Amino acid sequence: MTERTERFDPRTYEAGWRERWAADDIYRADDDDPRDKHYLLTMYPYPSGDLHIGHWYAATGPDIVARMRRMQGLNVMFPMGFDSFGLPAENAAIDRGVHPWDWTEQNIDRMRTQFRSMGCMFDWSREVVSSDPSYYRWTQWLFIQFFNAGLAYKQMAAVDWCPKDQVVLAREQVEGADRHCWRCGTPVVKRDLEQWFFRVTRYADELLDFSKIDWPDPLRLMQTNWIGRSEGSEIDFAAEAAGVDPIRVFTTRPDTIFGATFMVLAPEHRAVATLTTDERRAEVEAYVAAARRETEIERMSAEREKNGVFIGAHAINPMTDERIPIWIADYVLPGYGTGAIMGVPAHDQRDYAFAVRYDLPIRYVVLPPGGEAPTGEAFVAHSADEVLVDSGEFTGMAAADAIAAITEELAERGQGEAAITYKIRDWLISRQRYWGAPIPIVYCDEHGPQPVPEGQLPVLLPRDVDFAPTGVSPLQSNAAFLAGSCPICGKPARRETDTLDTFVDSSWYFLRYCSPHDETQAWDPVAVMRWMPVDLYTGGAEHAVLHFLYARFFVKALRDMHHLDFDEPFMAVRNQGQILGADHHRMSKSRGNVVNPDDLTSRFGSDTVRCFLMFIGPWDQGGPWNPSSIEGVHRFLGRVWGVAQATSGQPRAVPGMPPAQSLAGEIPGSGGIAPDVVTAVEDGSRGLRRAAHRAIKEVGEDYGELHFNTALSKLMELTNALGAARDDGLAGTGAYAEAVEALLLLLAPMAPHITEELWSRRGKPYSIHQQAWPTFDAAMVVSEMIELPVQVDGKLRDRLTVAPDTSPEEIERLALASDRVQAYLKGRAPRKVVQIPGRLVNIVTPGD
């Protein structure tokens, strides 16, 4: 008889095991553990109030890997914390009158509890909270290091301003064609403000080098495009007016210089004021003023018609010695290149449109060999066989060669040089809001901006402020906070009231995890040497040009300041996909499509939710929420529950079979099968063992590659094989026990509770999560007989069942002997026989 087991009800055991794991501290990562370290990191979340299903999705993947690596004998650190500075806390305070401190603390408490219900192996003893003074003290210390190294500076600049959030934004935080705020979606405007920056641009070149790290291609590509390196030349165009400096332009196509028939300056270009002639001045000033008033959206729109104003002055084309008019136009951006261009309408679409509108000459100077100048459009091809025409001594030269030759010629004359330009700008880090780390600077009337002495850190964020957004920092409303003193002369000095961008906090939290309780330094160098760099970092791809860029910059800058001795923070990065709402939109409270995991776990238990999330599809893909198959995953765990507790089985409808019980104990379990036992049972147990060993091989590989969906499908196959084996009377045999134990160990990372429960019920030692990962026997993985497809002209026509070591000659003989093959050959000899060992045979007919 199949014995009765208790009904499968995860609610009876899940919470109990979680409590025991926490009490026993089994996930603590010990600095002194002699085994090899493995640092697994998943992005710490913003404590928005409730854990949603996306948090589960993001955390379960790396948790599975962490658990497997631990079972494989590595000393795993898998920490968790909270990115707890930021605007939502402040907005909640404004909307609901809760103080940001309290709002944040309540949310963290709540989310910590919810996180624990997932059964993830986070080492909570290492938790960091970025809004805690014990953390931001060191964020401030880091700012001072950057300041002292010349990597933090304050400058007046035209910056992006979000009118709704009343705060400046970094360039990376302005998104989309309509230039909107990354947080609230409001279109940004330009403002001239004095702001703090980190000098990211100094690291532009090194940030382009991904050779030491294993990151997803799309991520590397996005960063590369964002950094936007362009190689070209800077060229001086002499101004016609006497006593005026030449105007320098940047171009990637110096080979087209003979076609430069005008010059365009950005309206903000500093030469505009001196070059503009008196009769053009009124119009020019009006245009400049209008350009400054316009929003970024209006200015940057590509669809917009080009417009500009002639400033009355002329420059000299250094190659043709022609006089060319100087214009200003807002399609030339002040912050890129030199803020000035040579207008080559024949070879640039924008210049072409501008020239057509203002009737400027268009001269084609680079064409395909033997080609003719197009009419009505610019020729912007970049193929290698373009050739210069009408270009003086360079006529006939290939464009690629001309780029170097013309640049060299200009360099010899002292009128230009090869140059590299980047799109990336320095990182704007100051914010005019309350809930962030105060920038540790004081302003002395005599000594200017001075860093707060390190011994006086942290500069505490005062509780008592009016944080209604007014466009100036709320900290200005607190007189006591404002009153600092100059570290040089001791006289009263006003404190900086801007706070740091929260991306500064997250640019180093992975370092703090290494020694989170160190009160004397940002990190203990020994601990950082022990744990860093991160072996695998997982998180959402939405941070591609934000956090990933900043964190790399931090590590490289700190290395150059001799605070770190490695180049890259994250050796491998993988992005999980996003779980969308059932309506295929991003989950958001306003859409009402947010899925709350608490409801699901109370119905199905945490294991089912974990497995279901991993089964949805490829982890890096995500997808819309569709809970219809969660029942199937729950049923699977129910089958695991059943097969793992079967100690004997009744052969089902197999006439003439001896009772299964009689076999129990006779089969030692490692291949030594009693010779006289019924063949069917022998085959069954060998097949079961093969299934188990295959699963060990493949599930381990899949976990390592983060292919959780296929790993689970293979665990389902093993479970189904166990179910069939039980029904064939194999429960109680050694092979059966081996397969059940393999199943439990392999499933443990994904479903930690049920496997612990079943492991314990089998009388195995606590904890399954501290057992060694199973190993497979390669010989066990191969089948005794394989089925070989036989194709005729690439189409499947028959199958052969042969031993894996059958010779090719024998396989060919068997294949040609097939009636079905002969039906297509019609007595002729094959033209060719293709064999892929172990895979298939293809017989090519002579054809008609």
When the beta carbons of 57 and 615 are compared against RNA, the nearer one is: 615
- Shortest separation between residue 764's beta carbon and RNA, angstroms: 24
Q: d(Cα 231, Cα 146) in Å, to the nearest integer?
A: 29
Q: d(Cα 84, Cα 88) in Å, to the nearest integer?
A: 10
713, 776, 781, 812: residue in contact with RNA (rule CB under 7 A): 713
| N- to C-terminal Cα separation, the chain | 64
Residue type, 267: P
251, 606, 608, 806: residue in contact with RNA (rule CB under 7 A): 251
Number of residues that bind RNA (CB under 7 A): 80
Taking only Cα atoms into account, the Rg of the chain, rounded to an integer number of angstroms, comes to: 35
**Interacting positions 174-203 with RNA (CB under 7 A):** 175-177
Q: Kindly state the helix (H) or strand (E) to which residue 402 belongs, with its residue range.
A: helix 399-412
Strand partners, 155: 195
Closest CA to 324 of 311, 306, 338: 311
**Interacting positions 565-624 with RNA (CB under 7 A):** 615-618, 621, 623
Q: Which two tokens stand for residue 495?
A: 């404190």
Residues across the chain: 848
When the beta carbons of 537 and 641 are compared against RNA, the nearer one is: 641
Q: d(Cα 667, Cα 731) in Å, to the nearest integer?
A: 11
Q: Per CB under 7 A, which region of 57-65, 104-112, 173-181, 489-497 contacts RNA? A: 173-181
Residue 257 is a binding residue for RNA (CB under 7 A)? no
When the beta carbons of 221 and 529 are compared against RNA, the nearer one is: 221
When the beta carbons of 565 and 793 are compared against RNA, the nearer one is: 793
Q: d(Cα 694, Cα 690) in Å, to the nearest integer?
A: 6
* DSSP annotation of 629: G
**Interacting positions 122-151 with RNA (CB under 7 A):** none
DSSP-H helix ranges across 566-707 = 597-604, 606-615, 630-645, 679-704
When the beta carbons of 219 and 744 are compared against RNA, the nearer one is: 219
5, 155, 301, 395: residue in contact with RNA (rule CB under 7 A): 301
Are 237 and 293 within 8 A, CB to CB?
no
Q: Provide the 3-class DSSP secondary structure of residue 322.
A: coil
- Shortest separation between residue 776's beta carbon and RNA, angstroms: 18
When the beta carbons of 253 and 314 are compared against RNA, the nearer one is: 253
When the beta carbons of 333 and 483 are compared against RNA, the nearer one is: 333
CA atoms within 13 A on the CB side of 45: 21
Residue 348 is a binding residue for RNA (CB under 7 A)? yes
Q: d(Cα 256, Cα 391) in Å, to the nearest integer?
A: 8
- Exposed, middle or buried: residue 371 (CB in 10 Å: 0-12, 13-18, 19+)? middle
Are 29 and 76 within 8 A, CB to CB?
yes
Are 16 and 508 within 8 A, CB to CB?
no
Residue 528 is a binding residue for RNA (CB under 7 A)? no
**Interacting positions 412-471 with RNA (CB under 7 A):** 421, 423
Are 618 and 710 within 8 A, CB to CB?
no
When the beta carbons of 141 and 336 are compared against RNA, the nearer one is: 336
Strand partners, 574: 538
226, 443, 566, 766: residue in contact with RNA (rule CB under 7 A): 226
**Interacting positions 770-809 with RNA (CB under 7 A):** 787, 789, 791, 793-794, 796, 799
428, 712, 739, 745: residue in contact with RNA (rule CB under 7 A): 712
When the beta carbons of 532 and 696 are compared against RNA, the nearer one is: 696
Q: d(Cα 684, Cα 660) in Å, to the nearest integer?
A: 12
When the beta carbons of 226 and 776 are compared against RNA, the nearer one is: 226
- Shortest separation between residue 339's beta carbon and RNA, angstroms: 5
- Shortest separation between residue 392's beta carbon and RNA, angstroms: 20
**Interacting positions 624-663 with RNA (CB under 7 A):** 626, 628-629, 631-633, 635-636, 638-639
Q: d(Cα 266, Cα 332) in Å, to the nearest integer?
A: 5
2, 485, 647, 709: residue in contact with RNA (rule CB under 7 A): 709
* DSSP annotation of 421: E
156, 242, 302, 778: residue in contact with RNA (rule CB under 7 A): 302
**Interacting positions 727-756 with RNA (CB under 7 A):** 727
**Interacting positions 538-557 with RNA (CB under 7 A):** 542, 544-545
Residue type, 262: F
Q: Which two tokens stand for residue 361?
A: 């000459």
Closest CA to 168 of 192, 146, 150: 192
When the beta carbons of 217 and 519 are compared against RNA, the nearer one is: 217
When the beta carbons of 460 and 834 are compared against RNA, the nearer one is: 834
38, 70, 543, 707: residue in contact with RNA (rule CB under 7 A): 707
- Shortest separation between residue 798's beta carbon and RNA, angstroms: 10
- Shortest separation between residue 545's beta carbon and RNA, angstroms: 6
- Shortest separation between residue 659's beta carbon and RNA, angstroms: 20
Residue 253 is a binding residue for RNA (CB under 7 A)? yes
Residue 220 is a binding residue for RNA (CB under 7 A)? no
